Structure 1
Amino acid sequence: MTEPESRDSAGPAGSVGRSAATGAVWLTVQKWAVRLSGFVTIAILTRFLGPEDFGTVAAASTVLPFFYLLADLGFAAYIVQVDRTDRRMLSTAFWFSALAGALLCGVIVAVAPLFGLVFDSDEFVPVLQVMSIAVVFTAVSSVPTALLRREMRFRALAIQGTIAALVAQVVAIAMTLTGLGVWALVGQALATQLVVAVLAWFAAGWRPAFLFSRAEFTTMTRFGSQVLGVEFVAMCRAWAEAAIISGVLGIAALGYLNIAQRLVQIVQDLTGAAVVPVSTVAFAKIRDSVGRLQAAYLRALRMTYALLTPPLTFIAVGAPLIIPIIFGDGWQESIPVAQVLALAGIMVVGATLDHGLFYGLGKPGRWFTYALVIDAITVTVTALTARSGLVAVAFGFLAVAVVATASRWFLVARLIQASPGMTAAPFIFPAVSVLVSGAAGWGVLTLTGELNSFVRLVLVGLTVLLVHLVVVRLLVRPVIDEVAGFLRRSRRSGTGRLRLATKEGS
């Protein structure tokens, strides 16, 4: 890779579509494998660990991403979308990230007591200090992972993520059963990052040279600073929220909120985790064609809504049964929080796609401005509602989600040269679906009170899904054809690669 490597041309729409479809399917399959096995892990952990343990690790997890960002400086995002890469650019990015990661790990160890004063927890400081090792693992794997994303090798990324998560879950269970308490969660986090880093290096097949270019560093920093700004604001928001909630309601309340957020995040990952990494690359490849870009965005938005709306509606209705079944007794305070957060999750479904759109089109600065405003509003609302309890905080998140969604309609419309009505129209059918399928699911939940909890949950889930499919068929029937086409493209691409591999092998 000593000579410049050109980005693949956009090519025919089918080529990009097949690559995006295949990547999305692989990443989705990975999330299903990880999350389904994770249900078993979390069911075990919540029976041995308390809200304080989860709250402590959740608090540390709000601090670390800030240092992840400083170690990467947005260079990975630059590598994914830039037209050309060469060995000098990639080596410059790697050596900066590796050195920064090592230095920042030491900084975290030194300043951890200061963060401990904010969260007022005895275990927080040593937990954060040990978890700081993850910054090094993340930094050294940044460039190899970016190369895999750039080349749309999502199959490799999916396999890496699955192996890493399964290894980490085994580590967490083993440490929990040996009585290590909160350190089981720490071990899980570190094992995940370590395995991902090792596998990324093997899969990428790239090695850095002893090169460093000041010009390349300046160019990447100019772009990366905007990406860094977006992520920095998000991390500050998460840290501020955690500090406010733990300070006003206690570290246990942060644990209850963390479990509710995990439940919603699991559902989002199972159906929409592939959106950002795949869409960023796909949009970057067709950004020079306004017509193709508009069509691809609206199609992807409709499909995202169609896939994410039913499971989140299911959480909003079935949380009173889901949380006791999965997490056991003692987590009832997470139930109403999870229900409200699921509704907020439906409102911001399009945010993941919009994130990929702005980055893929090389406009992270605009997304930074949007994120700065919305995150500032979120922290303010959290501060105002915290004294009224976790449920009030959750409703505050929901209110902000409404404002954020409406504002993105205008921002995206300007970016893709469309009207706000065009970008807002796809939200109509999920709104109708939530009202109708949610009401039907609630009715089933109420009428089946005498049945076994698991049976009731299955009936609620089937009801929500069937009613959602009816709404989709009546209001946006083309979505069904689009999803079918998406799967066909993925299958054809996978079959073609299998035939090529067989031919080469023979």
Structure 2
Amino acid sequence: MAGGGGADGRVNEHGQLADKAITSVMWSAAQRWVVRIAGFVTILILTRLLSPQDFGTVAIATSMLPIVNVLADMGFSSYIMQASHVDRRMLSTAFWFTTAAGVVLAGGLFLSAPVIALIFNISDVSGVVRGLVPAVLLVTASTVPMSLLRRRMRFRALAAQSICAALVGQAAAVALALMGFGVWALIAQTVLNQLVTFVFCWFSARWIPRLSFSLAEFKAMSTFGIKVVSVEIVGVGRSLAENAIIVAALGPAGLGYLNIAQRLIQVVQDVSAAAIVPVSTVVFAQVRGEADRLRSAYSRSLSMGYGVIIPVMIVIALVSPIILPAFFGQVWVPSVAASQVLAVASIFVTGALIDYGLLYGVGKPGMWLIYATAIDGLTILSAALTARFGLVSWALGFLVVAIVATIVRWALVAHVLAVRWQSVASPFFRAMATAAVSGALGYAAYVLSQPLGPVACVVLTGTAVLLAQFGAMFVIMRATFREVVRLVSQRLPIVSKSTTNWTQRLSRTVSVRERAASSDSVEKDM
């Protein structure tokens, strides 16, 4: 107990990291639930006040922001989060560079607004782009304090600031939309969100930059960061190309319909499996020097991600024909089929999020760059071939690319973890087996409950999918099931004593069954 150098010290250290990671995941999940649910309510209101053209115009303008932010950041935020050691000289160097770059790029964005409008052949885009320039300055000035909070796993503070920022921005958007400001309501939402985030993150980080700049530190960060920037540029380029293709084939309204379908999926994804990603990236960075712990952390993150996302996306795929028109209005019916296909594709994308965190956590962004360039190129090709046939064709093409990308990543991750590719693929196949069970029972519940009305149909379908997934995980994904049960029994004080005792007994039962059965193949190799 007194020392930290022996086996007991390492066990204690490992236990503390796991405990901190679990707490961080829960805060991250709570933040996403509050922000996304509030945002979902806001979208319900805004879709009845604004037109599909308004959403399409803003989607084009906001698609420019990531590339500007990425160029200003230069990958320094990722470097700070995964670095073995940070000091004030490094942090000050990162701050002064990102701030200066943000000013230059914001000015460039302001001047290039007419060119962007000309490219998309939509005159209104120019004013919208210029209205978003303050958001660029605020994001880049927040880079270092945000990175410090993530590195320290201060996800409670991050959750608080994210919730406040989202609520302020959303309230302003609704108020301005009601007053007839149109697309400017969405612009104000983005800018105010970043302003509140800026204030909170600087207050929480309690860090002040020095008037110093180290060329040596800059070179070290740039060597790592240029690979990160390249990945992000490729991703933003793919997004811009897809938007241009869809606008050319289906017009701004088509992009607006797709935007709503994507927002629905993003909301659901963010409040479920995506909460694991920011925490797992930091954990991967902290255990990358210990092969067994890294493999174990990856296996648990991937299995938990699949276990959480599958039932949620299956429910969305089944009940989209009910919830989209009911929430957003009949004008958004063309978004339904695309959202159903994207819900299925999101299951595959969850694996990509975990793998992205792994490669960045172990300091291999260059490897991810090669992968991302190939897959994003394939995505653009798919969009060019399918968009002219409609949103559903585009979404199906995206699904095919997501499947191909998943297979490619098995080999990539297997190389990084020094295991067989079958071991990396094993959690996916187990997860798909549970998806087949919950999907089949959910579809049966959806069909049988339709005569009872839309509300009953949604409730019964969701219940059937969740129960089926719970049972399937008990049989097929025992280790993940036990982990979920442990989290519920240990981390949720609102759970009653009887429920806690039941979950603990169930967890012990699963443990006995696991010792009697053969271990999961991924755990054998990892």
Verify same fold: TM over 0.5: yes
Alignment of 1:18-57 (within 5 A): 18-57=19-58
Whether contact under 8 Å (2:57, 2:125) holds in the other structure is yes
Whether contact under 8 Å (1:161, 1:196) holds in the other structure is yes
Whether contact under 8 Å (1:248, 1:386) holds in the other structure is yes
For residues 113-133 of structure 1, the C-alpha deviation after alignment (integer angstroms, 9 at most, x for no partner) is 111122221211110111122
Q: Does 1:374 align with 2:375?
A: yes
The offset of 1:490, in angstroms, is: 5.2
Identity of aligned residues (%): 47
Q: Distance in 2 between matches of 1:71 and 1:275?
A: 26
- Structure 2 partner of 1:283: 284
Alignment of 1:453-492 (within 5 A): 453-487=454-488
The offset of 1:439, in angstroms, is: 2.3
- Structure 2 partner of 1:224: 225
Whether contact under 8 Å (2:307, 2:431) holds in the other structure is yes
Whether contact under 8 Å (2:33, 2:271) holds in the other structure is yes
The offset of 1:11, in angstroms, is: 6.8
Q: Distance in 2 between matches of 1:25 and 1:487?
A: 11
Whether contact under 8 Å (2:433, 2:476) holds in the other structure is no
- Structure 1 partner of 2:424: 423
Structure 1: tracts of 5 or more residues without a match: 1-8, 493-506
The offset of 1:349, in angstroms, is: 1.4
Alignment of 1:104-253 (within 5 A): 104-253=105-254
- Structure 2 partner of 1:68: 69
Q: For 1:274, what is the secondary structure of its paired residue?
A: helix
Q: For 1:415, what is the secondary structure of its paired residue?
A: helix
The offset of 1:73, in angstroms, is: 0.4
Q: Distance in 1 between matches of 2:342 and 2:349?
A: 11
Q: Distance in 1 between matches of 2:361 and 2:319?
A: 36
Alignment of 1:319-334 (within 5 A): 319-334=320-335
Whether contact under 8 Å (1:80, 1:150) holds in the other structure is yes
The offset of 1:491, in angstroms, is: 6.5
Whether contact under 8 Å (1:237, 1:379) holds in the other structure is yes
Whether contact under 8 Å (1:444, 1:460) holds in the other structure is yes
Whether contact under 8 Å (2:227, 2:369) holds in the other structure is yes
The offset of 1:469, in angstroms, is: 1.1
The offset of 1:445, in angstroms, is: 2.1
Whether contact under 8 Å (2:274, 2:350) holds in the other structure is no
Q: Distance in 2 between matches of 1:39 and 1:110?
A: 33
- Structure 2 partner of 1:498: none
- Structure 2 partner of 1:503: none
The number of residues matched between the two structures is 484
Whether contact under 8 Å (1:310, 1:465) holds in the other structure is yes
Whether contact under 8 Å (2:383, 2:394) holds in the other structure is yes
The offset of 1:482, in angstroms, is: 1.2
Whether contact under 8 Å (1:81, 1:150) holds in the other structure is yes
For residues 350-390 of structure 1, the C-alpha deviation after alignment (integer angstroms, 9 at most, x for no partner) is 11111111111011110111111000000011011111111
Q: Distance in 1 between matches of 2:392 and 2:22?
A: 38
Q: Distance in 1 between matches of 2:188 and 2:249?
A: 29
Alignment of 1:253-332 (within 5 A): 253-332=254-333
For residues 451-487 of structure 1, the C-alpha deviation after alignment (integer angstroms, 9 at most, x for no partner) is 2212211111111111111111111122121123345
Whether contact under 8 Å (1:118, 1:247) holds in the other structure is no
**Worse-superposed segment, 95-104 or 200-209:** 95-104
The offset of 1:105, in angstroms, is: 0.9
For residues 20-49 of structure 1, the C-alpha deviation after alignment (integer angstroms, 9 at most, x for no partner) is 111110010011111122222111101111
The offset of 1:69, in angstroms, is: 0.5
Q: For 1:206, what is the secondary structure of its paired residue?
A: coil
For residues 242-266 of structure 1, the C-alpha deviation after alignment (integer angstroms, 9 at most, x for no partner) is 0110111101100000100001111
Q: For 1:76, what is the secondary structure of its paired residue?
A: helix
- Structure 2 partner of 1:445: 446
- Structure 1 partner of 2:84: 83
Amino acid at match of 2:45: I
The offset of 1:273, in angstroms, is: 2.7
- Structure 1 partner of 2:95: 94
- Structure 2 partner of 1:357: 358
Q: Structure 1 residues 489, 87: CA separation in 2 closer, same or farther (over 3 Å shift)?
A: farther
**Worse-superposed segment, 481-490 or 195-204:** 481-490
Amino acid at match of 1:243: A
Whether contact under 8 Å (1:382, 1:396) holds in the other structure is yes
The offset of 1:489, in angstroms, is: 6.4
For residues 140-166 of structure 1, the C-alpha deviation after alignment (integer angstroms, 9 at most, x for no partner) is 000000000111111111111111111
**Worse-superposed segment, 274-283 or 363-372:** 274-283
Q: Distance in 1 between matches of 2:86 and 2:346?
A: 37
Q: For 1:224, what is the secondary structure of its paired residue?
A: helix
Q: Distance in 2 between matches of 1:360 and 1:485?
A: 26
Q: CA RMSD in A?
A: 1.5
- Structure 1 partner of 2:512: none
Amino acid at match of 1:175: L
Q: Distance in 2 between matches of 1:430 and 1:84?
A: 37
The offset of 1:435, in angstroms, is: 2.4
Q: TM-score, normalised by structure 1?
A: 0.93
The offset of 1:444, in angstroms, is: 2.2
Amino acid at match of 1:222: T
Whether contact under 8 Å (1:134, 1:194) holds in the other structure is yes
Q: Structure 1 residues 220, 491: CA separation in 2 closer, same or farther (over 3 Å shift)?
A: farther
Q: Distance in 2 between matches of 1:170 and 1:137?
A: 20
The offset of 1:10, in angstroms, is: 10
Amino acid at match of 2:89: R
Q: Structure 1 residues 183, 150: CA separation in 2 closer, same or farther (over 3 Å shift)?
A: same
Q: Distance in 1 between matches of 2:203 and 2:351?
A: 34
- Structure 2 partner of 1:395: 396
- Structure 2 partner of 1:411: 412
Whether contact under 8 Å (1:272, 1:307) holds in the other structure is yes
The offset of 1:488, in angstroms, is: 5.9
Q: Distance in 2 between matches of 1:309 and 1:97?
A: 38
Q: For 1:232, what is the secondary structure of its paired residue?
A: helix
Q: For 2:169, what is the secondary structure of its paired residue?
A: helix
Q: Distance in 2 between matches of 1:479 and 1:97?
A: 41
Q: Structure 1 residues 348, 213: CA separation in 2 closer, same or farther (over 3 Å shift)?
A: same
Q: Distance in 2 between matches of 1:487 and 1:72?
A: 38
Whether contact under 8 Å (1:119, 1:251) holds in the other structure is no
Amino acid at match of 1:437: S
The offset of 1:272, in angstroms, is: 2.0
Q: Structure 1 residues 115, 141: CA separation in 2 closer, same or farther (over 3 Å shift)?
A: same
Q: For 2:333, what is the secondary structure of its paired residue?
A: coil
Whether contact under 8 Å (1:26, 1:155) holds in the other structure is yes
Whether contact under 8 Å (1:18, 1:490) holds in the other structure is no
Amino acid at match of 1:13: H
Whether contact under 8 Å (1:18, 1:489) holds in the other structure is no
Q: Structure 1 residues 403, 304: CA separation in 2 closer, same or farther (over 3 Å shift)?
A: same
The offset of 1:274, in angstroms, is: 2.2
- Structure 2 partner of 1:497: none
